[in-house]
Structure 1
Amino acid sequence: MNLGDFNELEVAREVDFGMYLTSDDGDLLIPRKYIPEGTQIGDVLRVFVYRDSEDRLIATTLEPYARVGQFATLTVRDVTSTGAFLDWGLEKDLLLPYSNLRRNLRPGERATVFVYLDDTSDRIVASAKWEWFLSDAPYPGKEGDTADLFVAEETDLGYKVIVDGTHQGLLYHNEVFKPLRLGDVHTGYVRHIRPDGKLDLSLQRLGYDEALAAADTLLEALRQAGGTLPLGDKSEPEDIYRRLGMSKKVFKKALGTLYKRGEVQLEPEQTRLVAGK
């Protein structure tokens, strides 16, 4: 049986408060509120197995936000002398021990972690030192390759991302033309493989013009806003960056591109999508 993952387990017997499932580690309870309607003894259920507040193995049909061996960005529910407790979609919160913290966290804050099974306690725990769990092997791809980018952390330079679940890379602020949220996964491209093995990345295909990339972002923002954005040539740079994640210089390039294509009407502090575009 895989602790911290989904298992196919057979229903052994029924009690008032649920059913017991049989496994190589002994029978374990699935509480009645998680039992699919019509389940009978002998049926096989797909359940997630973890430990309850009294350290007993327990099963649920709920889908956690992360399983053992996965990276995730989770919300802090509480902080105690033991560590931080994270909401991972189950009744019992996931422990992020103090020894695994990188900095102090507050309730409501989101943190990127790696979920693993602690060998000493046999408990599922999280670590905010997620870089420790990345591969030491050279990145198997090449410059220009497409990759899945998990947004893990924001820095002064840009966003640290986990590339294809195995390697670390960086998206520089001046190459990001849309708001990014921790935990989001985007399709990106390997711009450069550095000597230290880390990767410089881009959300646009290599060689794709900056103005065209920004124009695509602006066009999508206009559509989502119903065709009008309160941004124009006279808008403050901070307002532009807060809404679109791009500099005013890049924004003006995007405006020019869309205007030349006849897709927008320009006003000093407002941009309108041309009807039918």
Structure 2
Amino acid sequence: MTVFGFGLDHTRALLDQAVQADRDGLDLVSVSDHPYLADRPDAYAAIGVLLGRTTRISGLVNVSNLPTRPAPMLARMVSGLSTLTGGRVVLGLGAGGLLADAARLGVRQLSPAEAVRALEEAMVVVRALFGGGAPVTFDGEFYRVTELAPADVPAPRIWTGSVGPRSLAVTGRHADGWIPGHAADWLSDRFRTSRPIIDEAAVAAGREPAHVATIYNLTGRITAGPLPVTRDPSGRWIGGSAAQWAEELTGAVLDHGAGGFTYFPDDDGTPIGVALGRWAREVVPEVRAAIGAAAP
């Protein structure tokens, strides 16, 4: 199933936006995780509140700042959200792109190589702490748990925000989804050079590459009328009318295997509620209909 989400802002209006996204039939809302910034609510506090205000939409921290959120506790927090919401949570994980900023919170500053190894350990630990069964003991380089009972709920989908070759390989070995960095899309060099690393690592681990979906963070404008061009000279998507968006995203799914999209509106003066409405009520239904019509 192709997933359609919306990236929430960091004001109190994010709750109203989440309710609107839920009412308008989107699959997912997401918030970023920068706990060293005082002007942003804690990502998991926000997700917990907005899931309590909605009925069907899932929540994603895009992506969890792993150096500041130890994997065993993160697993417990997400399993609690899953239990209380009927599984309406997706776990986003990242090695931590701003390691020096994370260290300002008092955690040890990892090297980039250590951060990737910690990411892989975290994915192993988190998965082990779901699904019930025997108590888990794990003694790794970064995480240790002893005789810890897994939560009796299924593991959530795990999506990573991997960028470098080593973390891309971790994604291929363990993840359910990949969010390309720097708002890269299906026509970008970043996608063309990164996705093969994921696929090769998945095959080496005995997995099907298709089981790792690609979910794009997309920026751009949704305009009232069509634009003469929808990409800038560098090839970056800039947006267009709802019909232009629908045509582009349908092609991304049918021709390039896109697994989903999270829309982040451009700061072009359009009220967030208007941009969200255009995305959820005009673009997404057209793409869903086109994909459905093309299905065998």
What TM-score range do you get, normalising by the shorter chain?
Answer: under 0.3
Give the TM-score normalised by the residue count of structure 2: 0.25
Higher strand share: 1
Mark the structure with the bigger radius of gyration: 1
Higher helix share: 2
